[in-house]
Amino acid sequence: MVVGVLALQGSFNEHIAALKRLGVKGVEVRKPEQLLNVSSLIIPGGESTTMAKLAELHNLFPALREFVQMGKPVWGTCAGLIFLANKATGQKTGGQELVGGLDCTVHRNFFGSQIQSFETELPIPQVVAKEGGPPCFRAVFIRAPAILDVGPDVEVLADIPVSAIAIQKEEKVIVAVKQGNLLATAFHPELTADTRWHSYFLKMVPEIEVGASAIVSTSTTT
Ligand code: GLN
């Protein structure tokens, strides 16, 4: 079986390249029937309103929801996280359709617009770093969302202090979670050379055997 990567818009090529570095084949998914041929799915970052419009045009939402509900592993990065959330809030959330399944509220563009995009070193969660490597990973936030609250079944993998950012109540916001078959990150591991997040996702896919060991350099590739 191969890993599907939703290829409507956004950083799907970068995800396929990261999978390739681990010796795993990623295939582009654009049509509902293509989901039948993949064991798991990555929903990349991009622009979630555009991605939602294209998904609607291709009649993908029912098949995506079924895929999630069947318990197949799905990883959403950035816009992909927004897709998976049960609820999206924040500016420019114009009632766009969501796949849902991930019991959380996500705030779109939480960190601001394109110009407020940033990179930072975050501690690598222990479960993700089982292979070893540096204690931190390079987290690339591009018009990034943040998770404001999570349900009881959601495991928080990473958060980030927001003291520099003007929000009233929390000192930290959540930027990576896992809930059963679902993984979601507000940042873009596919834009770095560090494949530990991809390795971690692949471990959620029983059929996949990772051919290469994870590359743990933390430099960004784009
Ligand atoms: N904030 C964007 C959105 O709402 C997502 C940004 C990203 O995927 N890099 O779609």
Q: Which atom of ligand 1 is nearest to the CA of 78?
A: 8
78 flagged as catalytic: yes
| Ligand 1 site, residue 146, Cβ cutoff 6 A | no
| Ligand 1 site, residue 79, Cβ cutoff 6 A | yes
| Ligand 1 site, residue 109, Cβ cutoff 6 A | yes
Give domain limits for the chain.
Answer: 2-203
Give me the pLDDT at residue 211, please: 56
Ligand 1 pocket mutation, candidates 6, 54, 109, 147, criterion most atoms within 8 A of CB? 109
Report, as ranges of residue numbers, the positions in the chain whose pLDDT lies below 50.
164, 212-215, 217-222
Is the CATH number of domain 2-203 3.30.360.10? Answer: no
Give me the pLDDT at residue 219, please: 47
Give me the pLDDT at residue 222, please: 38
Distance 6 CA to ligand 1 centre (A): 15
Ligand 1 pocket mutation, candidates 143, 185, 191, 220, criterion most atoms within 8 A of CB? 143
> 107-111 contacts: CB < 8 A, separation 24 or more?
107/145, 107/146, 107/147, 107/148, 107/173, 108/48, 108/82, 108/145, 109/143, 109/144, 109/145, 110/144, 110/145, 110/146, 110/148, 110/173, 110/186, 111/141, 111/143, 111/144, 111/146, 111/165
Burial of 169 (0-12, 13-18, 19+ CB in 10 A): exposed
198 flagged as catalytic: no
| Ligand 1 site, residue 85, Cβ cutoff 6 A | no
Give me the pLDDT at residue 170, please: 59
Distance 218 CA to ligand 1 centre (A): 22
| Ligand 1 site, residue 82, Cβ cutoff 6 A | yes
pLDDT, tens digit, 9 for 90 and up, residues 12-69: 999 999 999 999 999 999 999 999 999 999 999 999 999 999 999 999 999 999 999 9
Distance 80 CA to ligand 1 centre (A): 8
Mean per-residue pLDDT over the chain, rounded: 89
- Answer yes or no: is the ipTM higher than 0.90: yes
170 flagged as catalytic: no
